[in-house]
């Protein structure tokens, strides 16, 4: 990973956190709830009927939880869990479930993430890899960006010999609307270092994760 790419990643994280923080300061929770009420009215509903009375409050609370990744950074998640270790064999964590939202329609993205790296004197707690994927997923996303963010964050913090990330996901914007194609999924990948340069290492990783994702 180049220095300019590393700085770009840090700037992007800082910008996203700054925007999220400023948004939280500029817009109150009451204003967010009122926006949901307005949306319900626009959809032809009555926000004062019994079943919808608390919907604005619940929706705002749910969205804050599901986009909590804006208030986190990869440095906070990873830095305290990095350990010196004389290891150079591939580490793979596969089938990490993720739930995100497509930034174009704010509809769910449901999928799995597979992450591998080849250590170069440093390893990281395995649970932190899952937490990193979850952090980036809990933002409004496109799958391509989500994939590269995970790879670049690990590359920056661990400086490993290589990083590989594959995301397999189904997009509700394709299932529930638009082309309406249930059962379709999208695969994206990001390869760094040995995984990009060495076909055998890349093949070992791809063989280890090969399966047909099943989403229900």
Give the pair of three-digit tokens for residue 69.
């990744």
Which is catalytic among the residues 104, 144, 203, 211? 104
Q: Tell me if residue 114 is catalytic.
A: no
Q: Check if 203 is active-site.
A: no
Given 143, 149, 156, 168, the catalytic residue = 143
What is the spatial distance between Cα 83 and Cα 168, in angstroms, rounded to a whole number?
29
Catalytic residue among 72, 102, 155, 156: 102
Out of 8, 85, 103, 144, the active site residue is: 103
Catalytic residue, candidates 45, 75, 173, 204: 173
* Backbone angles phi and psi of 113, in degrees to 5: -120, 140
216 is catalytic: no
Question: Does the annotation mark 105 as catalytic?
Answer: yes
H/E run at residue 92: strand 91-102
Burial class of residue 94, CB neighbours in 10 A (0-12, 13-18, 19+): middle
Distant-in-sequence, close-in-space partners of 166: CB < 8 Å, separation ≥ 6? 113, 114, 147, 187, 188, 189, 206, 209
Strand partners, 158: none
Catalytic residue among 45, 75, 105, 159: 105
Indicate which residues carry an active-site annotation: 102-105, 143, 171, 173
């Amino acid at each position: 990973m180049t220095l300019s790419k590393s700085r770009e990643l840090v700037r992007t994280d800082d910008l996203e956190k700054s925007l999220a923080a400023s948004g939280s300061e500029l817009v109150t929770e009451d204003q967010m709830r009122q926006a949901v009420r307005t949306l319900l009215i626009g959809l032809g509903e009555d926000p004062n009927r019994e079943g919808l009375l608390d919907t604005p409050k619940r929706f705002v609370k749910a969205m804050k939880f599901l986009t909590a990744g804006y208030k986190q950074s990869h440095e906070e998640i990873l830095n305290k869990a990095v350990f010196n270790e004389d290891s150079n064999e591939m580490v793979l964590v596969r089938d990490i479930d993720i739930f995100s939202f497509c930034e174009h329609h704010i509809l769910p993205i449901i999928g799995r993430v597979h992450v591998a790296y080849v250590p170069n004197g440093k390893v990281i707690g395995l649970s932190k890899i899952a937490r990193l994927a979850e952090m980036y997923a809990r933002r409004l996303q496109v799958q391509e960006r989500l994939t590269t963010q995970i790879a670049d964050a690990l590359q920056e913090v661990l400086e490993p010999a290589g990083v590989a990330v594959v995301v397999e996901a189904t997009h509700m914007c394709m299932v529930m609307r638009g082309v309406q194609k249930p059962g379709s999924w999208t695969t994206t990948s990001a390869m760094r270092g040995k995984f990009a340069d060495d076909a055998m290492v890349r093949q070992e990783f791809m063989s280890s994760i090969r399966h047909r994702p099943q989403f229900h």
